Structure 1
Amino acid sequence: MSGDRKVQDWKEQVRKSGPLREVNPDKGVDGWSSPVGDVFSVRGADYFSKRQKIPSGEWMMKPLGMDWLRSSARLDHVLARPDNRAMATLRRAQGEGRALKAFVFAVNLQVPGREQQHSAVFYYATEDPIPPGSLLYRFVHGDDAFRNSRFKLLNRIVKGPWIVRATVGNHAACLMGKALTCRYHKGDNYLEIDVDIGSSALASAIVHLALGYVTSVSVDIAFMVESQSDEELPERLLGAIRIHQIEMSSALYVDPSPINNADKTLGGGGFEWRKRGRGLRGHGSGKVEDEEHLPTY
């Protein structure tokens, strides 16, 4: 097996697992897909002199997929949890001497609720080294003040009722660190950004309105580091994803406390995420036969 194929294997495992499946980008429902990059516009090489924007083109990182989660408390720093499926899969690959240069970028949109908290977690990965001194390198290794001034979300409503388009906005862009509380978690091979929607009453109201129509809404979401000088142009997207008319009931329940002992958790009636169509399976024996059957989401 070639090195490229081996690298691809762990990514494919992540893409094909999880509470939401990858679907057809044109007609899929209750899942996610990869939109074409050119649906977004970014700042071109002459933006500060001519105010010209260009099609966004190829992203820096490919999507690994998304998790739609619910819990009794806010889920913070999900990549550090031993039950996180993306990092668990990467750790297994690295234990076999594969994917040693992989870097994971994740955005965790935290949606507050009266009884349950929800998280939409988007995963991206690259095997290419981040060039030292580049804007992305400065963002990954910089301080929170720098990150807050640069982290931007773009959205495009693909399908949805007029009230969602009017309230959320179409082709909208927002510097997330300026509008909301963002918490940054950096590991040796990852960066996670937790975006607290509840830190803004207006944002919380808008998101909850949108969730009321969630089964009829498809939206493209992209993340980027904003360029603020000629030397940083043209802009490139970190990554993008299309969310297709998801069901609230598709959210996978996650214990808010990280799982520190897999055997104990399985023995106590923990969960295991199986391939879509097989659902969740309870465990009572406490027996773990191999690493792939650890309780991961």
Structure 2
Amino acid sequence: MCPSKAKQKRHHCSSTSSAVPIEDWREEAINGGSLKHVNLDTGSNGWASPPGELFFLRGPDYLTKKAKLPSGEWLLNPAGVDWLRSNAKLDHVLARPDNRVMNALRRSRNCEKSFKDFVIAVNLQVPGRDHYSAVFYFSSKVDEPIDSNSLLYQFINGSDAFRNSRFKLVNKIVKGPWIVKTAVGNYSACLLGKALNCYYHRGPNYLEIDVDIGSSAIAAAILKLALGCASAVTVDMGFLVEAQSNEELPEKLFGAVRISQMELNSATYVDSATPTSKVLPVNSSGESENEDLEQ
């Protein structure tokens, strides 16, 4: 490798922050969020990762027997949660130069290896006088690229129409007032891509899904009710690509998160006027990708 190339590679791996490079970017991403990582069973005002077995999804015989089974291990690993407040709706947060998860990925000491990692972010946009975003980050597993023959791979690289027909949420109220359980249901499933306006941002090593909850009056009203007593509510949310044929079954979560008795004022303020970054993530050779962020 010529000296100029080596210098360029070191620059890319440590750019975007003056912080000391890190060995495991996921550890920083999980523990550095505006919503703290807490114990699954006893934590409050934070998030945790519920096991897949708590979610019942379509099993291998679902199309004939309608049988649902506990989901197995997540397809992706948790990579943190952000609870953000802003003066306007926050779109495409992964392209922001201040996004801490992508910056942690860039700062990783093992830059060549880390930029083979893929991130999916689900950005639930909450309308109101103050705009909030609950952003859930999931990443591909260490040394396990996403299977190119999988339904998740098709979803990542498919059309928006395909994504809207498959993007699914399953949720369960673990703890909360009866009025919230009545409105939401103890356990429910919903194709978010059909019920709400979803916007997809595909980058070189990520997919962000912005879910506009305000696009449905019913969803916005239910959420307003839940947020009114958020500090008393614990909810599990699982995200998946819906299986619609025998070949695609059984369903698998790509990620799941538990939000435990969250305080609204724990949100970190973000200036919506901050421009999105024009600097693309580097590829595994240490050079910038020459393609648009959105495809």
Instruction: Tell me the equivalent position of 1:292.
Output: none
Displacement of 1:31 after TM fit?
Answer: 0.4
Letter in 1 for 2:92: H
Matched, 1:120 2:134: yes
Instruction: Tell me the equivalent position of 2:72.
Output: 57
Stretches of structure 1 lacking an aligned partner (at least 5 in a row): 1-5, 262-297
Displacement of 1:97 after TM fit?
Answer: 3.0
In the superposition, the TM-score normalised over structure 1's length comes to: 0.83
Q: 1:58 to 1:7 in 2, by over 3 A?
A: farther
2:159 to 143, 159, 181: 143
**Inter-partner Cα distance in structure 1 for 2:158 and 2:109:** 26
Instruction: Tell me the equivalent position of 1:48.
Output: 63
Sequence identity percentage: 60
Displacement of 1:39 after TM fit?
Answer: 0.6
Aligned-residue Cα RMSD (Å) equals 1.7
Instruction: Tell me the equivalent position of 2:186.
Output: 170
SS of corresponding position for 2:207: strand
**Inter-partner Cα distance in structure 1 for 2:276 and 2:70:** 45
Deviates more, 1:121-130 or 1:86-95: 86-95
Q: Decide whether the 8 Å contact of 2:95 with 2:276 is kept in 1.
A: no
Q: Decide whether the 8 Å contact of 1:158 with 1:219 is kept in 2.
A: yes
1:238 to 241, 254, 264: 254
Instruction: Tell me the equivalent position of 1:214.
Output: 230
Letter in 2 for 1:126: S
Q: Give the total of aligned pairs.
A: 255
**Inter-partner Cα distance in structure 2 for 1:134 and 1:57:** 16
Q: Decide whether the 8 Å contact of 2:138 with 2:255 is kept in 1.
A: yes
Superposition pairs for residues 104-119 of structure 1, below 5 Å? 104-114=119-129, 116-119=130-133
Superposition pairs for residues 28-107 of structure 1, below 5 Å? 28-93=43-108, 96-107=111-122
**Inter-partner Cα distance in structure 2 for 1:133 and 1:160:** 40
Displacement of 1:137 after TM fit?
Answer: 1.1
Matched, 1:193 2:222: no
Instruction: Tell me the equivalent position of 2:24.
Output: 9
Displacement of 1:12 after TM fit?
Answer: 0.3
Displacement of 1:192 after TM fit?
Answer: 0.5
Q: What per-residue deviation string (whole Å, max 9, x for no partner) do you get for residues 147-167 of structure 1?
A: 000000010111000000000
Q: Decide whether the 8 Å contact of 1:227 with 1:233 is kept in 2.
A: yes
SS of corresponding position for 1:235: coil
**Inter-partner Cα distance in structure 2 for 1:8 and 1:60:** 23
**Inter-partner Cα distance in structure 2 for 1:210 and 1:254:** 23
Q: Decide whether the 8 Å contact of 1:94 with 1:100 is kept in 2.
A: no
Letter in 2 for 1:70: R
Instruction: Tell me the equivalent position of 2:40.
Output: 25
**Inter-partner Cα distance in structure 2 for 1:7 and 1:229:** 42
Letter in 1 for 2:155: F
**Inter-partner Cα distance in structure 2 for 1:8 and 1:170:** 40
**Inter-partner Cα distance in structure 2 for 1:41 and 1:187:** 31
4+ residue runs over 2 A deviation: 94-98, 258-261
Q: What per-residue deviation string (whole Å, max 9, x for no partner) do you get for residues 63-89 of structure 1?
A: 112100000000000000010000010
Letter in 2 for 1:124: F
